[in-house]
Structure 1
Amino acid sequence: MRPRRFLPSVTQLLAFEAVMRHKTVTSAAGELNLTQSTVSRLVNNLEHQLGQALFVRERKRLHPTDAALAYSRNVTQALDIIQRASMSLVANPGGGSLSLAVLPIFGTRWLSPRLGQFLDTNPGISMTLATRIQRFSFEHEAFDAVIFFGEADWAGANHSRLFEEHITACASPAFLERHPVSDASDLAGLPLLQLESRPNAWNVWFRAQGAAMPKTSGMLMDQFSMMIQAAISGLGIALLPDYLARTEIEEGRLAPILRTGVPGTGSYWLAWPKVKDDYQPLRAFRDWIVRCAEGGKPSHPDL
């Protein structure tokens, strides 16, 4: 039995969460399509039930207490979990669901073109995809698994390695007409585009060319999609994973530079909470994506 005192109604929690975001009862009431007096009553009832003051009231504004700030983070997470579970049930009442966090461009360029195969062979599983760049805790985010880049070091998780990243330097044909490159030394002084999550990638690439990295400059970005567009626009040289470089090269938007497909600074991994080990939809996806990654590893000839 769960003590009733510690299980406020969803209506009370929605009112509290809305007031926390808007800082006024008026705005919260407008969002919830309730009267101001109803929202105030719901919040007062919540405080009474918990035996804790959640707001300091000054004129028409509510200032949350430190306890309310901590409580609201958990309430928001719980409401998100309930919402996702309900959406999954409506979308797929007869089967399991899988909520996956994935790197943005990996999701669009690598996973999405292959995902239909998984869904066709697992028609009882519905999937929810969301993009994440920064790491998060499975305890605070309602995901069943995540695909990330780096090492097998996601806290509190089990891991399956998908494939090692191989990298290729690319620039627009027009850029290379202005700045011909026949040797690694020709890159000295040229703008080398940098990615926040790959701070040592250019050093690794230059070593693979048998050269030391020269002093250089270039824009710093947080996503490959921005880097690709910058390179296409002639703003510098991009260092891209092969699965991205190959597409841009085949379509003529970028051209490769020197040795291609050199080993990068990490691998792509699937990670999941240890408590989800036996969750059937996750097991099915894990088995499929590992086979898919194994079968789709590039041979790395010159592009």
Structure 2
Amino acid sequence: MSRPRRFLPSVSLLTAFEAVLRTGSTAAAARELDLTQGAVSRLVQNLESQLGQPLFLRERRRLIPTEAARAYGRDISRALDLVARASMELAANPGGGVLSLAILPAFGTRWLAPRLAGFLSAHPGITINLATRLKRFNFAAEGFDAAIHFGVDDWRGAGHLRLFDETLVACAAPAFLRANPIRQPADVHALPLLQIETRPTAWPEWFRAHGLVAPLPRGMLFDQFAPMTQAAIHGLGVALLPEFLAMPDLDEGRLQRLPGAPVSGTGSYWLVWPEARADYPPVVALRDWLAAETADLRAREGAGDGADDGDRTRTP
């Protein structure tokens, strides 16, 4: 796509404008950019001339940004950050590419991290940068190449690969269960139930699956699984945890399963990626690797709808 040169100012013009907007003066911007104050002023004036409108009001040797300039500056700042990041990534890894992946904290710690060495061994030229995100975000604004998402395949403008469904298991610390014997699911009614913000219907669904009516909520509320798991380990109540997350603590005896079968969660774990990055080699490599890593899990789930097992792209 051809881009009118008028609307593609040079990086020198944009960096001068962004520095003046951020620091509040041409003098401060000049010190930061290692330029003279006059040079910075000329760069800003040239940008205004190229855009055909003023960006600053000049009052008694002070530059006051217009509202339009503030909005423009937010976009320019993000764009300059993306250019800088791309340049650093190329310099750091010119051969394989860098993958910026947003992960859910618990999934990243308990499921992805123990397996990641296998991916890096199979793709030695790829560098992965990880950052946690609890909620959905704008790919264009954040600059991620892909993300691990919990829920359903409804991320607009993104491709989806279902990894596996969530299965929830009720568990508590052995000492807690010795003090509060549980022989059947109905005995859980009287105990403090640890809850998490992102699964508000988890406990009602667990009780319903066991033919019971859920009690009124009582117990601590958490925004992440890690502190809720620790609360259960230290005897503060009963936790309903994703099975993959609970397994290490169950295997090592820090937690113990309660009577009653595990229940299906309210969603699945997905790899999602912006449409513009669908063919980016590191994204393709991660997608193929995750599909292979989770194939057995999906087979055990007996997924009925084959469409859920592959890539899916939804457009806005």
Is TM > 0.5 for Structure 1 vs Structure 2? Answer: yes
- Whole-Å Cα distance in 1 between the matches of residues 20 and 283 of structure 2? 36
Cα deviations by residue, 1:238-288 (Å, 9 ceiling, x for unpaired): 211111111122233222222243211110011122333333322221111
Question: 3-state SS of the aligned residue for 1:175?
Answer: helix
Q: TM-score, normalised by structure 2?
A: 0.81
**Pair 47,190 (structure 1): closer, same or farther in 2 beyond 3 Å:** farther
2:102 is the alignment partner of 1:105: no
**Pair 224,14 (structure 1): closer, same or farther in 2 beyond 3 Å:** farther
Question: 3-state SS of the aligned residue for 1:198?
Answer: coil
Q: CA deviation at 1:44?
A: 4.9
Percent identity, please.
Answer: 55
**Pair 62,297 (structure 1): closer, same or farther in 2 beyond 3 Å:** farther
**Pair 282,179 (structure 1): closer, same or farther in 2 beyond 3 Å:** same
Q: How does 1:274-289 map to 2 (within 5 A)?
A: 274-289=275-290
Q: CA deviation at 1:21?
A: 4.9
Residue of structure 1 in register with 2:254 after alignment:
253
> How many residues were matched structurally?
299
2:174 is the alignment partner of 1:173: yes
Q: CA deviation at 1:145?
A: 1.6
Residue of structure 2 in register with 1:25 after alignment:
25
Mean alpha-carbon deviation: is it higher for 198-207 or for 27-36? 27-36
1:190–1:216 CA contact under 8 A, matched in 2: no
Question: 3-state SS of the aligned residue for 2:289?
Answer: helix
Q: CA deviation at 1:161?
A: 0.8
Cα RMSD after superposing both structures:
3.1
Cα deviations by residue, 1:107-146 (Å, 9 ceiling, x for unpaired): 1211111111111111222222222111112232322221
2:163 is the alignment partner of 1:162: yes
- Whole-Å Cα distance in 1 between the matches of residues 118 and 38 of structure 2? 50
Mean alpha-carbon deviation: is it higher for 99-108 or for 271-280? 271-280
Cα deviations by residue, 1:191-214 (Å, 9 ceiling, x for unpaired): 222222211111121122221211
Listed as ranges, the gaps of 5+ residues in structure 2 are: 302-316
Residue of structure 2 in register with 1:134 after alignment:
135
Residue of structure 2 in register with 1:220 after alignment:
221
Q: In the alignment, residue 32 of structure 1 is paired with which amino acid? A: E
Residue of structure 2 in register with 1:291 after alignment:
292
1:91–1:126 CA contact under 8 A, matched in 2: no
Question: 3-state SS of the aligned residue for 2:258?
Answer: strand
Residue of structure 2 in register with 1:73 after alignment:
74
- Whole-Å Cα distance in 2 between the matches of residues 36 and 212 of structure 1? 73
Q: In the alignment, residue 193 of structure 1 is paired with which amino acid? A: L
Q: In the alignment, residue 178 of structure 1 is paired with which amino acid? A: A
